C-alpha cells in the first residue's frame, strides 16, 4: 500500500520481481507468446499478487516502459534543470547524462531491442522527449518551425541512442557524450562531394 508518498517495500519487491520475470522471459520469446502463468512462476509470486498490481501483462510492460521513460527524462533534463538560459553550444560533455541512464539500464534495453516491444518504446520515448523539450526548452527560432525542429532534434538523438544499443554499447558513455556534443556543435559551411560511380 502507498501511504504519504511512500511505497510499501513488499509491493516494491513483488512488482520488481514481476518486471524482472517478464524481462527474463522476453530474452527467449516474443511478448505476445508470454503468459501470465509464466510470469508468476518465474517471479516466485502467484496470480493473486500479479492481479493485485496489474490488470494484464500489457499493464506490466507499460510499467517497465514508464520506469525507463522516467529515468530518461530525468537524464535529459540534467544539463538544463538548474539554469534559466541553457547554452546548448557551451554544453560540457560531462553534463550529458542520457548515456549514463542507458548504460545503467543496458540489460533491459538490450532485451527490449531484440523484441517486438522496441517500436512502442521508441515511440513512447519520442513523444515524451518532444513533449518536455517543447514545454521546457524555448529556442529563438528565426523563422524555423518549432515542431519540425523538435522532430528533427529528437529523431537525431534517438537515432544515436538506438545505434548505440544496437552496437551492444560498444563505446563508453563518456565517448558517446563527447560525440553528441561535437555533433551538436558541428555546423559545416560546406561539404566535400564525391562523384557517384
Bridge partner list, 2: 7
pLDDT per position as a tens digit, 49-83? 999 999 999 999 999 999 999 999 999 999 888 77
Cell of 192: 566535400
Cα first-last separation, the chain: 67
Report pLDDT for 5.
60
- Say how far apart CA 2 and CA 11 lie, in whole Å: 9
* CB neighbour list of residue 61: distance below 8 Å, 6 or more residues apart: 22, 31, 117
**Record: fold of 57-185:** Tetracycline Repressor; domain 2 (1.10.357)
Q: Which CATH number is associated with domain 1-54?
A: 1.10.10
CA distances from 60 to 9, 18, 39, 80, 109 (A): 18, 8, 10, 32, 16
Return the DSSP state at 81.
Answer: T
Average pLDDT of every residue of the chain: 90
CA-CA-CA-CA torsion sign (34, 35, 39, 42): negative
Percent of the chain exceeding pLDDT 90 equals 65
Amino acid at each position: 500500500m502507498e501511504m504519504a508518498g511512500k511505497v510499501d517495500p513488499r509491493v516494491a519487491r513483488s512488482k520488481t520481481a514481476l518486471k524482472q520475470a517478464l524481462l527474463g522471459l522476453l530474452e527467449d520469446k516474443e511478448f505476445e507468446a508470454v503468459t501470465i502463468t509464466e510470469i508468476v512462476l518465474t517471479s516466485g509470486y502467484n496470480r493473486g499478487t500479479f492481479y493485485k498490481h496489474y490488470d494484464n501483462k500489457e499493464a506490466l510492460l507499460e510499467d517497465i516502459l514508464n520506469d525507463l521513460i522516467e529515468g530518461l527524462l530525468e537524464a535529459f533534463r540534467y544539463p538544463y534543470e538548474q539554469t534559466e538560459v541553457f547554452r546548448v553550444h557551451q554544453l560540457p560533455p560531462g553534463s550529458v547524462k542520457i548515456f549514463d541512464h542507458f548504460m545503467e539500464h543496458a540489460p533491459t534495453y538490450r532485451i527490449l531491442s531484440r523484441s517486438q516491444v522496441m517500436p512502442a518504446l521508441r515511440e513512447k520515448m519520442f513523444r515524451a522527449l518532444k513533449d518536455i523539450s517543447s514545454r521546457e526548452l524555448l529556442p529563438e527560432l528565426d523563422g524555423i518551425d518549432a515542431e519540425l525542429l523538435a522532430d528533427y532534434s529528437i529523431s537525431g538523438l534517438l537515432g544515436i541512442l538506438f545505434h548505440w544499443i544496437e552496437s551492444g554499447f560498444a563505446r563508453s558513455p563518456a565517448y558517446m557524450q563527447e560525440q553528441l556534443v561535437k555533433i551538436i556543435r558541428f555546423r559545416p559551411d560546406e561539404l566535400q562531394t564525391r562523384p557517384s560511380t
